[in-house]
């Protein structure tokens, strides 16, 4: 039984292909390759922490891909997930109406195949220490100026496992981006992240996407 981290799959999101220069000619190919890479990496006995931004587009269709993925799946919602605590649609109306919308949103993701949803997972034991776990890094963004500052973890001098920045970096100082755009489309094993922490703070570029033999970028 192994533990993996990943984030920012963006199932069903056509524009992410252009935004992040993903090597696919349409969203159907992207969805299928993401699922193939996941299932080639993760066994049914493994656990995968998904640090947000699972699916966009027609959500009911996009979320069906979660049920096709192996392993015990834990979601830490990101800013594009409808069950995220900061989602504007959850913040309107009476407290009762907000709570009802929140539960309905969470139910959609659980029904799609997530076993657990952790709004604030706190810290994860890794490399003899503990790292913060969040959709967001301490600082930095894929859109220039930092967004959602109030939802970011506090930099206490330790490490953070995060998503959100897509192909901006794989590692920046003590920030480890576990997103698919940084790891060739695959979830990354906790042992690989522990090795990076053991090597200390530095900057690393994203890995190239893992494509089938003989297939080049479109």
- Give the number of other CB atoms < 10 A from CB of residue 140: 18
Three-state SS at 100: helix
- Give the number of other CB atoms < 10 A from CB of residue 127: 16
- Which has more confidence, 213 or 52? 52
| CA–CA gap between residue 104 and residue 100 (Å, rounded) | 6
| CA–CA gap between residue 19 and residue 171 (Å, rounded) | 20
The confidence score (pLDDT) of residue 178 equals: 98
pLDDT at residue 90 tops 80: no
Mean pLDDT of the chain: 93
If you average pLDDT over residues 31-50, what whole number do you get? Answer: 98
For residue 171, give every residue at least 6 positions away whose Cβ sits within 8 Å of its Cβ, in sequence order, or none. Answer: 177, 196, 202, 203, 204
- Which has more confidence, 212 or 53? 53
The confidence score (pLDDT) of residue 150 equals: 93
pLDDT in tens, 95-154: 787 778 888 999 999 999 999 999 988 899 999 999 999 999 999 988 878 888 999 999
For domain 3-204, the CATH class is: alpha beta
Classify residue 63 by its DSSP letter: G
| CA–CA gap between residue 55 and residue 11 (Å, rounded) | 4
> How many residues does the structure list for the chain?
218
| CA–CA gap between residue 45 and residue 36 (Å, rounded) | 17
Nearest to 192 by CA among 56, 61, 82, 41: 41
Q: Which of the four pLDDT bands, split at 50, 70 and 90, describes residue 212?
A: confident
């Amino acid at each position: 039984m192994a533990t993996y981290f990943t984030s920012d799959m963006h199932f069903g999101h056509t524009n992410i292909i252009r935004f992040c220069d993903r090597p696919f000619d349409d969203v159907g190919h992207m969805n299928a390759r993401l699922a193939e890479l996941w299932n080639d990496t993760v066994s049914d006995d493994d656990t995968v922490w998904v640090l947000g931004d699972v699916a966009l587009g027609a959500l009911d269709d996009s979320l069906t891909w979660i049920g096709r993925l192996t392993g015990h799946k834990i979601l830490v919602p990101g800013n594009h997930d409808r069950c995220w605590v900061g989602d504007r649609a959850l913040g309107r109306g009476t407290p009762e109406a907000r709570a009802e919308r929140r539960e309905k949103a969470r139910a959609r993701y659980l029904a799609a195949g997530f076993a657990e949803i952790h709004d604030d997972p706190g810290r994860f034991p890794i490399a003899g220490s503990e790292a913060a776990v969040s959709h967001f890094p301490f600082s930095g963004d894929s859109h220039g100026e930092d967004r959602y500052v109030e939802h970011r973890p506090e930099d206490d001098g330790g490490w953070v496992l995060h998503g959100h920045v897509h192909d901006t970096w794989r590692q920046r100082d003590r920030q480890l981006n576990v997103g698919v755009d940084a790891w060739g489309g695959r979830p990354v094993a906790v042992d690989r992240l522990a090795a990076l922490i053991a090597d200390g703070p530095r900057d690393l570029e994203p890995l190239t996407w893992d494509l089938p033999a003989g297939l080049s970028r479109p």
